[in-house]
Structure 1
């Protein structure tokens, strides 16, 4: 039996007094001994939490016991150690930042693309009238993506709406959207429908569920995840590595964060360059005075930064 579980989930469901809910939810998660990161917004929950199987089961039971979150689907990974160091629950304007805040236009509770289960997605993805659309950021699809997928040159999901015009050529196709766990597709597919795309689908449960239920077939590379694992294997059918080292160009599946905290770039780097560059993406970052110690993982726990007293004084005077 696994020592720990990591749960990935989301649920679009209206939460009254979501800010207070977030505070209470943090206390509850800590009482179970969980670690992780949860975003709470008026529109729902988006989280990844990690803990013992017993603690994770207790958490899932509590979420399902709250009638607002009955539709939540948990993707469960067995891990050797917790995937986070601390527990954070934060209130934000959206559970995935898109900049699309008009519920009359984009509301996943009312209208999204047709959900495809992993095996349905597998059966459709190679049809002539289909285009597979990756709605994730550059650093994610550079690490791994579906074979023949259309990818977008975006740094964050909030850049997706500006790319709609570039996708106009696919309006007569069946558009199959996908992301890590499904949450981005809820809004991406809704926006595509709003913009006149007629036949829009989304991979239910995302890449993670596809790996578990369809063997990850034709997903090339690894899948980026938002915890200290940084990436996970998906394809057990026909796996291949597609990512290359930023520094030398050698094929490598290893994703890290730059050791310079003021850069913190997500990029792929082979172990040899990792040692040579001390986990940095460039010589400039390597010589930065705040460079963190590289331990070979490329994952760093965020630490509070010292207060800029002079800057704070200026702000207070201005007020």
Structure 2
């Protein structure tokens, strides 16, 4: 019997009053006892939520009943426990941070690369006239990526636009972009088209849908996800581990966050080094006074810091 579901989804659509929608949506999610992280912007909705199958079904029914989200697709995972501890809904300028905010240039509602279903992507990816392009960040593709994919040396997706010149050598190829769930590809493919790449595609539903519908064939390693699971298995056809321990170099599929909250780097680390380093990426982080307790998972719930009311008010701290 399924204990919980985790839903991954996004939708580019116009939300007239995104800030109010976010506030109302948070109350709605809490009423269903969901946990998760949702970003709302005037350009759409991007979220991962987790809860009982009944709560998740009620959530999906409500979302699909709203005509603004008629094209939204949910990717559903069965999990043993909720994938989050709390429920957050935040209003931001974009549903995925790219810095590409001019709708006259980049507007996924109007123009993106051609969507490929997982089986279509599988059939095309190894052709000589094709380049498979990973538009995710370093820590994501270091954990897992498609075989022979082109990866970019970027820390965040907002760094993607600056890489366009490095991709110019592929302009005569068919570009097949992919990411975790598809959301980054909507803007990445739109930008490539704007920059003169004529034959651009994107993996519809991303790596997650590809794993469910094409067995994850030729996706090497695991897929990073933005919840307390940190990574999920994708390939049930020809799986292989490609990531290595940051500290000793041994092959390991385990992704963690550094236990030093002021570092919090995402990196791969084997269990042995995790124990020896207390879940830290370096000796300096291991000695840090704010180091969190490492429980073997490498996932940490963010703890709100107390507000320094004197500093906020512009007052001098009281000394004795």
Structures share fold, TM-score greater than 0.5:
yes
SS in 2 for 1:2: coil
Find the aligned partners of 1:7 and 1:185 in 2 and give their Cα distance.
19
- 1:26-45 equivalences in 2 (<5 Å): 26-45=26-45
Find the aligned partners of 1:143 and 1:315 in 2 and give their Cα distance.
47
Counterpart of 1:280 in structure 2 is: 280
Counterpart of 2:195 in structure 1 is: 195
- 1:35-114 equivalences in 2 (<5 Å): 35-114=35-114
SS in 2 for 1:46: strand
Deviation at 1:216, TM superposition (A): 0.2
Counterpart of 1:6 in structure 2 is: 6
- 1:115-134 Cα shifts (integer Å, max 9, x gaps): 00000000000000000000
Counterpart of 2:137 in structure 1 is: 137
Find the aligned partners of 2:190 and 2:45 in 1 and give their Cα distance.
18
- 1:176-191 equivalences in 2 (<5 Å): 176-191=176-191
Change (3 A) 1:243 1:315: farther
Change (3 A) 1:315 1:70: farther
Counterpart of 1:25 in structure 2 is: 25
Q: Give the TM-score of the pair, scaled to structure 2.
A: 0.98
* Unaligned residue ranges in structure 2 (runs of 5+): none
Deviation at 1:305, TM superposition (A): 1.2
- 1:237-294 Cα shifts (integer Å, max 9, x gaps): 0000000000000000000000000000000000000000000000000000000000
Deviation at 1:182, TM superposition (A): 0.1
Change (3 A) 1:268 1:315: farther
Counterpart of 2:302 in structure 1 is: 302
Deviation at 1:315, TM superposition (A): 8.5
Counterpart of 1:123 in structure 2 is: 123
SS in 2 for 1:24: helix
Counterpart of 1:264 in structure 2 is: 264
Find the aligned partners of 2:3 and 2:312 in 1 and give their Cα distance.
45
Find the aligned partners of 1:19 and 1:135 in 2 and give their Cα distance.
28
Moved over 2 A (4+): 306-316
Find the aligned partners of 2:164 and 2:149 in 1 and give their Cα distance.
16
Greater shift, 298-307 or 109-118, is seen at 298-307
- 1:150-169 Cα shifts (integer Å, max 9, x gaps): 00000000000000000000
- 1:133-177 Cα shifts (integer Å, max 9, x gaps): 000000000000000000000000000000000000000000000
SS in 2 for 1:274: helix
- 1:25-75 Cα shifts (integer Å, max 9, x gaps): 000000000000000000000000000000000000000000000100000
Deviation at 1:178, TM superposition (A): 0.1
Find the aligned partners of 2:313 and 2:55 in 1 and give their Cα distance.
44
Find the aligned partners of 1:206 and 1:7 in 2 and give their Cα distance.
14
SS in 2 for 1:191: helix
* Unaligned residue ranges in structure 1 (runs of 5+): none
SS in 1 for 2:253: coil
Over aligned residues, Cα RMSD in angstroms? 1.0
Deviation at 1:314, TM superposition (A): 3.5
